[in-house]
Each structure stands twice: as C-alpha cells, then as structure tokens.
Amino acid sequence: MKEISRKLKGDIERLTNKTFKFDDRIGEGWFSAVYFLKTKEIAEKYISNNKITMQFFQKSDAVLCGTDEAIALLHTFAKNPDKLDIYSLKDGDKVSPYETVLTVTGPYQDFGYLEGIIDGILARRTSVATNVYNVVKAARTSGTQKPVIFMGDRDDHYTQQAGDGYAAFIGGSTAQATHAMNEWWGKEGMGTMPHAMIQMFQGDIVAAAKAYNEMYPNDELMVLVDYNNDVINDSLKVAREFGETLKGVRVDTSKNMVDKYFLRNQHLMGKFDPRGVNPELIFALRKALDQEGFQHVKIIASGGFEEKRIREFEKLGVPVDLYGVGRSLLSIGVSFTGDNVLLNGEPQAKEGRKYRPNPRLEKVEYFEQS
C-alpha cells in the first residue's frame, strides 16, 4: 500500500523517504551551497554547543506544499534527527505572506546545511500547488467545477514529474498525464491519443479512433480532433461513427492557426481573434454536436490555457467540460527563506528579521526513515 493511502486513512501523519527516495548524495553536502558546508565545519569546531531556531516563510497568499518532503529530508540526513524540535504546517494548508510554515531547532551543525534544499523543496512544491489551486478555482467561475488535467510532462525535466504531480494533487488536480506524476499519490496516468497517432493513420481520425478503441476497449474514448484543423467536421465524423461510445473530443488548435470552420464562414470574422482554441469555435462545436444528438460528448480544451484564460472562458459560459493545462502550472512564483532567528533560546537574527511564532504550527514527531 502506498504511503499516501495510509496517510489519507489517518494511519500515518506524514509521508516519509519511502515515498520521496532521496539522493544519498544529499548527506554528503553535494546539493548544499558551499558556504553552508563551511559554516557547519566552523560551528562544529568553535561553537558546538550552539542551539539555533531556523524559521521558514514566503511572501504570498499560497497553498503550502513540500512540508512532508522537507521533514523527511531532515529525518533522513540531519545528525541526531530524533533530537531536533520541528514544528510545521501541513501540505494543503492555505498560508499568508510572512507566515511561519516550519521551524527547526537544534545545533546548527546537525541540520543547517539542509537550509537551501528545504527552501527549494518548499518553493517548487508550493508554487505548483498554488498554480494548480488557482487554475482549479478559475475552472469553477461559472458555478460548476470543471476538471483540470495536469499535462506538464513536456514543460520541464522528467525527474520533476513525481514531485510536481504530487503538488498538483495537493492543489486540486486529480487527473495527470504520466504514471510518474501519479507516483507519490497512488493513481495512474491518463490520456488517449497524440497528434502522432493520427499522423500515422495519414490524418484519418476515424481510423485512428477505431484502432485506439479496439486496442483499449475499457478506456473512455476521447478523440483529439484538431489534427486536420477542421474541429467541427472531424468531431462529427467520430461522433457519427461511435455514437454513445465516444465520450469526448479534445481541441488543441495551435494559437497560430485559424480553424477551417471560420474559413468556410468568413462572415463571422472580424469581431474576435479566430486563432487557436477560442470561445466562438467551442460554441460552434457544441452547437454542431447537439444538433445531431451528441449532447453526451464532452469537450476538452487544451493548448496555452492558464488561470486568466480559463476564467475568461468561464465568465463567457464557453461550454468546455475539462481543461488540459501544462506549462503555466510549473512557473515558480513562490520563494521561501530560511532564517536563523533564535540562538540558544534568545532573539538573534539578521537585521529586519525576527522570530514569528505561529500558533497553527504542529509539533512533528520523529520517525525512522528507510
């Protein structure tokens, strides 16, 4: 059983290194800034009896993520981790600017060199979780929550997929493109066909869909319909062929292309930007499907969607049923800072920084890491 299942059932409080599988070189200082490593050595030699409190915060309204990972890091690589006093919020908590999300108290030389790694974990995970949360929120502007598919596999290095997928899950996305994105939270990747599949059937969208349906008969049939830049005609072709079996069509028209529907109906042009996946195209697609009795076919929109664009679509009542979102969810907009704010229990911090107690923090109990 995956740890996330045990956590969601309440059997454990936090995920551990059984989930995160840290690189052993972290313990060698390989990923730590050199000045942290030098400070560790100086503290060991000259002031080994120090006891500092390190406090972590950021400067936005955000959805916190990465606390389980940061705590597992400390429990795996800190010296005497069972003697550290750790207090933390939890993944998924809403946090305010400058709110303390994590404190660690103990000898600097036991854990201080992990500061930058913790900052990075919290920054990336919180950024993705917050981005996804905002997009999911935008996707219910119309009053109905539209699902958001996390499709960020091509927008960053593949090694980031598991952590990004978990952060996206914390932010509210429960459908993701790859198995790796689902690794930490226990599901499987989802998806139907890329443009490459249609290309191999020489642009014959019906033939491609038939092959897919025969190969994966237990999947819900969702067909990509923009390959020939004729979304409405191709959607009707597959709808007529598959009827109730067809569950949805995905529109992914390039932002530099004008669909052939508008070239056939040039009297519609001039009042809006006809390029890409635009509201008028989706309205026309929904109308065409409904007129032929295919009200059950859902419309998935992807290609360049982000919070603002989704909000605009929703305010206009554009009949999108699911949004596929990628690149915009991976932008790093939240940065964390770790400050040493107490020395041997007394205030001692960089000018302008101070200890900020947070009654929401919960004490973290030590547990062995694998």
The string of pLDDT tens digits covering residues 92-111 is 999 999 999 999 999 999 99
Q: What is the C-alpha to C-alpha distance for residues 240 and 236, in angstroms, rounded to an integer?
A: 6
pLDDT of residue 271: 84
Q: What pLDDT does residue 185 have?
A: 77
| 3-class secondary structure, 185 | coil
SS3 354: coil
What is the CB-side half-sphere exposure of residue 343 using CA atoms within 13 A? 9
N-terminal to C-terminal alpha carbon distance within the chain: 16
pLDDT band at 134 (very low <50, low <70, confident <90, very high): very high
pLDDT computed for residue 11 by the predictor: 87
Residue 246's DSSP bridge partners are 221
Q: Report d(CA 306, CA 109) in Å as an integer.
A: 43
Residue 235's nearest CA partner among 281, 302, 176 is 281
Q: Is 32 helix (H, G, I), strand (E, B) or coil?
A: coil
Among 137, 138, 140, 161, which residue's Cα sits nearest to residue 150? 161
Record the tokens describing residue 360, joined without a space: 């929401």
Q: For tokens 């000259």, what's the residue?
A: 46
pTM, full prediction: 0.91
DSSP 277: S
Task: Give the length of the chain.
Answer: 370
